[in-house]
Structure 1
Amino acid sequence: MAGDTSTLAESHTEMTEMVLPNDTNTHGRCLGGVVLHWMDVCGAIAAMRFANEGVVTASMDHVDFKSPIDLGEVVVIEAYVFATGRTSLDVKVEVRAENPQTDSERDTTSSFFTFVAVDDDGTPIPVPDLECPTEGERRLRDAAIDDRAAQLERLAERIER
């Protein structure tokens, strides 16, 4: 794998789910754990597409749920690789809810995941370098890097209070 490259676009993944009764709490809202599961799956698919290898979740950054997702709404989860290390892949995952009856949509949460590529024995293996050949890919990469830095700053401020 060393010396190989993959593009941000090759990692782009979009999943669509519908909030069903088994996914909800007693208020008819999607359980946070269900949303986190969908985010982890979508992020892992993006990382696997990029690396052409299996991956494991190494970490997930802070998550704030900005808006509830109600029973019957459609959930769209999008993910892409925006940075790589030797064996690791950083993935931005964004979630939005759509109400199919009103055509309205809203952002509900986002986070940053780190995955590690592994071989069949679970040993970490090198990943391709990230390429962003288009202006759109460079904008997404730069926005993700800036968003992660801003999120870490906000967390540090919260901790210092």
Structure 2
Amino acid sequence: MTDGETATLAESHTEMTELVLPNDTNTHGRALGGAVLHWMDVCGAIAAMRFATSGVVTAAMDHVDFKSPIDLGEVVVVEAYIYDTGRTSIDVNVEVRAEDPRTGDERDATSSFFTFVAVDDDGEPTTVPDLACPTEGERRLRDAAVDDRAAQLERLVERMEG
């Protein structure tokens, strides 16, 4: 990558769908948390690779709260996009929705912020493009993710101090 290179938030946007099958469920017929986290990691990594045009490794995943269970037979929609970058790091917002394929009803299930590090063919960290948000929609998504992550970190600090 050359200095000054940019890539847009829209270029990183990735959406995956998964069907919750019996191997993905617990004894209550609900998606295993580990399966959902796996899908989130994969979707976030794809968004980061598209953005960096290189391989990536997962460096961190922030706090995760499961807001709604996802039942056997439901569709899981995982959506990810880049909202910030460092020299070699890429911050990704990953959101998960559950969908009843028979009715089309959707609900938020969980979300988290991931950090990936771009790596070259030898597995060494490599620089990433600067994030560009040329449209109002992209700027809104970026700003919302930055604000949401800051609020999440503030809540975490309050829990730890309390």
What is the TM-score of this pair, normalised by structure 1? 0.99
2:51 aligns to what SS in structure 1? helix
Report the equivalent of 2:137: 136
Report the equivalent of 2:66: 65
The residue identity in structure 2 corresponding to 1:156 is V
Tell me the C-alpha RMSD between the 2 structures. 0.5
Q: Shift in Å at residue 100 of structure 1?
A: 1.1
Q: Deviations over 1:12-50 (max 9, x none)?
A: 000000000000000000000000000000000000000
Report the equivalent of 2:6: 5
Higher deviation after alignment, 66-75 or 95-104? 95-104
2:137 aligns to what SS in structure 1? helix
Quote the Cα distance in structure 2 between the aligned partners of 1:79 and 1:16: 12
Q: Shift in Å at residue 120 of structure 1?
A: 1.0
Quote the Cα distance in structure 2 between the aligned partners of 1:108 and 1:157: 24
State percent identity of aligned pairs: 83
Report the equivalent of 1:47: 48
Report the equivalent of 1:121: 122
5 Å-filtered alignment, 1:12-161, equals: 12-161=13-162
Quote the Cα distance in structure 1 between the aligned partners of 2:152 and 2:70: 22
1:22 aligns to what SS in structure 2? helix
The residue identity in structure 1 corresponding to 2:44 is G
1:107 aligns to what SS in structure 2? strand
Quote the Cα distance in structure 2 between the aligned partners of 1:55 and 1:103: 34
Quote the Cα distance in structure 2 between the aligned partners of 1:41 and 1:34: 11
Q: Deviations over 1:58-88 (max 9, x none)?
A: 0000000011000000000000000000000
Quote the Cα distance in structure 2 between the aligned partners of 1:13 and 1:102: 24
2:125 aligns to what SS in structure 1? coil
Q: Shift in Å at residue 156 of structure 1?
A: 1.0
Structure 1 runs of 4+ with >2 Å offset: none
1:120 aligns to what SS in structure 2? coil
Q: Shift in Å at residue 102 of structure 1?
A: 2.0
Quote the Cα distance in structure 1 between the aligned partners of 2:132 and 2:103: 39
